[in-house]
């Protein structure tokens, strides 16, 4: 509010003395954000509830007072021009910003009602339940099979004990069942089942990204965060990832950052638009945000007038 103490600038059509619309450095018109544009009402449960989130990198205020509820078992898209804080926001949802020493976070993030920033939260467990897929595929330089089995083996979740022996199954059989299930769920099984012991780095980019998704699934997450997961891929590989994301949302809660607005419109149920300065400007059902946005700045952004 402090930036807008002059009542003249509080209207949608703020003008300068010369009758030119005020614009920000990236060309958006200056417009007061209204709370109701960010209040998205949905049926069902909120998987994550973010309240009054501020993020600073040193003196740089990267995210400003963001509040947002993320519905379960759906796809939430985060869009906005480069540098507006989308990745920063996504990283707050599983405390990846903790790894950035200059980052300071204020506000609350609740996952199934539990504050993930309270003392004593187990970060390994949190990041298993809230998994992440990055822009460039980053498989381990190991076999396809080992990429999937690594996490569960490390966390001791792969059933290597009594049950396997009672069922007369070996550890390898248990592991192979898990590997198959994750690869099937990531729509990759049919393409790789005859070469599970090959190095994952020999796969195409799109296959590597689906392998990273399969690896994320192997530790049984509830939320999958994706930061521009298809931006390094060709259109065919991108289409496969988009289909997969839609399928995953039947079981998981997916939050995806994308700079591709058509992609957000195609695959998401709800869309949050961040604009320069780290502000959440509008959040609502995807069709409404794209077809009839409340904010003029969002309309300008979506119609390609800036960004
Ligand atoms: N690790 C970091 N250290 C310092 N500043 C950062 C860091 N990451 C992001 N920022 C700054 O925070 C702002 C938001 O960045 P980011 O979240 O990466 O935006 P987006 O993903 O929307 O492009 C930018 O001004 C960026 O320079
Ligand atoms: Mg980013």
Q: Is 95 left (phi over 0), alpha (psi -120 to 50) or beta?
A: left
Kindly report the CATH number assigned to the domain that includes residue 89. Answer: 3.40.50.300
Q: Which ligand is nearest to the CA of 227?
A: 2
**By the 8 A CB rule, do 190 and 196 touch?**
no
Ligand 2 center to residue 259 CA distance, Å? 9
Ligand 1 pocket, 98 CB below 6 A? no
Distance from the alpha carbon of residue 12 to the mean position of ligand 1, in angstroms: 28
Alpha-carbon distance 196 to 17, whole Å? 68
For residue 215, the surrounding DSSP H or E stretch is helix 205-217
C-alpha dihedral sign at 185, 190, 194, 200: negative
Ligand 1 touching residue 114 (CB < 6 A): no
Q: Is residue 164 part of a domain?
A: yes
Alpha carbon 14 to its chain's center: 34
Return the ligand number nearest the Cα of 134.
2
Domain assignment present for residue 86? The answer is: yes
pLDDT of 36 reads 87
CB 102 less than 6 A from any atom of ligand 1: yes
Domain annotation covers residue 23: no
From residue 225, give the alpha-carbon distance in Å to each of 31, 239, 293. Answer: 30, 18, 25
pTM, rounded to two decimals: 0.89
Dihedral pair phi/psi, residue 303, rounded to 5°: -85, 5
Position 157 scores a pLDDT of 64
Domain assignment present for residue 30? The answer is no
CB contact at 8 A, 270 and 279? no
Among 77, 83, 273, 280, the mutation site with the greatest number of ligand 1 atoms within 8 A of its Cβ is: 83
* Chain length of the chain: 307
Split into its structural domains, the chain has a count of: 1
Largest Cα separation within the chain, whole Å, is 82
Instruction: State the closest ligand 1 atom to the C-alpha of 58, by its place in the atom list counted from 1.
Output: 4
Q: Is the dihedral of CA 96, 100, 103, 106 positive or negative?
A: positive
The three-state secondary structure class of 38 is helix
Nearest atom, ligand 1, residue 278 CA: 14
What was the pLDDT predicted at 307? 64
Ligand 1 atom closest to 81 (CA): 22
Tell me if 238 is assigned to some domain. Answer: yes
Q: Name the strand (E) or helix (H) holding 149.
A: helix 144-155
Of 113, 109, 86, 122, the residue nearest 229 (C-alpha): 86
- Return the pLDDT at 166: 66
- pLDDT means per 10 residues, the chain with 307 residues, are 42 46 70 86 94 97 97 97 96 96 97 96 96 96 96 72 64 90 97 98 97 96 97 94 96 96 97 94 97 95 83
Residue 88, ligand 1, Cβ within 6 A: yes
Domain-located, residue 173: yes
* CA–CA distances in Å: residue 280 to residues 15, 110, 120, 131, 160: 23, 18, 29, 23, 46
| Cβ neighbourhood burial of 140 (10 Å; 0-12, 13-18, 19+) | middle
- Which residues have their alpha-adjacent CB atom under 5 A from ion ligand 2? 87
Q: Ligand 2 mean position to 283 CA, how many Å? A: 18
Instruction: Give the residue, by CA position, lying nearest to ligand 1 atom 16.
Output: 85
Could you tell me if the CB of 303 is within 6 A of ligand 1?
no
State which residues form the domain around 198: 44-302
Q: Is residue 166 part of a domain?
A: yes
Query: Residue 187: inside a domain, yes or no?
Result: yes
289 CB-contact burial (10 Å; exposed 0-12 / middle 13-18 / buried 19+): buried
């Amino acid at each position: 509010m402090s930036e807008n103490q002059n009542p003249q600038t509080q209207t949608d059509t703020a003008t300068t003395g010369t009758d030119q619309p005020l614009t920000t450095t990236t060309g958006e018109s200056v417009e007061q954000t209204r709370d109701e544009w960010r209040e998205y009402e949905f049926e069902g449960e909120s998987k994550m509830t973010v309240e009054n989130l501020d993020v600073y990198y040193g003196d740089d205020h990267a995210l400003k007072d963001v509040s947002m509820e993320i519905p379960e078992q759906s796809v939430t898209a985060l869009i906005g021009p480069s540098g507006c804080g989308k990745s920063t926001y996504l990283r707050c949802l599983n405390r990846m910003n903790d790894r950035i020493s200059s980052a300071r976070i204020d506000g609350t993030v609740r996952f199934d009602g539990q504050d993930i920033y309270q003392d004593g939260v187990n970060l390994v467990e949190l990041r298993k339940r809230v998994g992440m897929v990055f822009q460039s595929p980053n498989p381990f330089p190991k076999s396809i099979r080992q990429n999937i089995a690594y996490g569960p083996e490390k966390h001791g979740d792969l059933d290597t004990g009594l049950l396997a022996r009672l069922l007369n199954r070996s550890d390898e059989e248990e592991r192979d069942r898990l590997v198959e299930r994750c690869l099937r769920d990531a729509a990759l099984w049919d393409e790789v089942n005859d070469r599970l012991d090959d190095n994952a780095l020999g796969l195409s980019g799109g296959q590597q990204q689906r392998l990273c998704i399969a690896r994320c699934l192997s530790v049984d997450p509830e939320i999958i965060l994706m930061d521009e997961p298809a931006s390094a891929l060709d259109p065919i590989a991108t289409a496969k990832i988009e289909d997969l994301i839609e399928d995953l949302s039947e079981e998981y809660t997916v939050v995806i950052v994308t700079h591709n607005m058509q992609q957000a419109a195609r695959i998401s149920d709800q869309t949050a638009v961040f604009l320069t300065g780290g502000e959440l400007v509008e959040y609502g059902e995807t069709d409404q945000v794209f077809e009839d946005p409340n904010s003029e700045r969002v309309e300008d952004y979506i119609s390609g007038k800036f960004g």
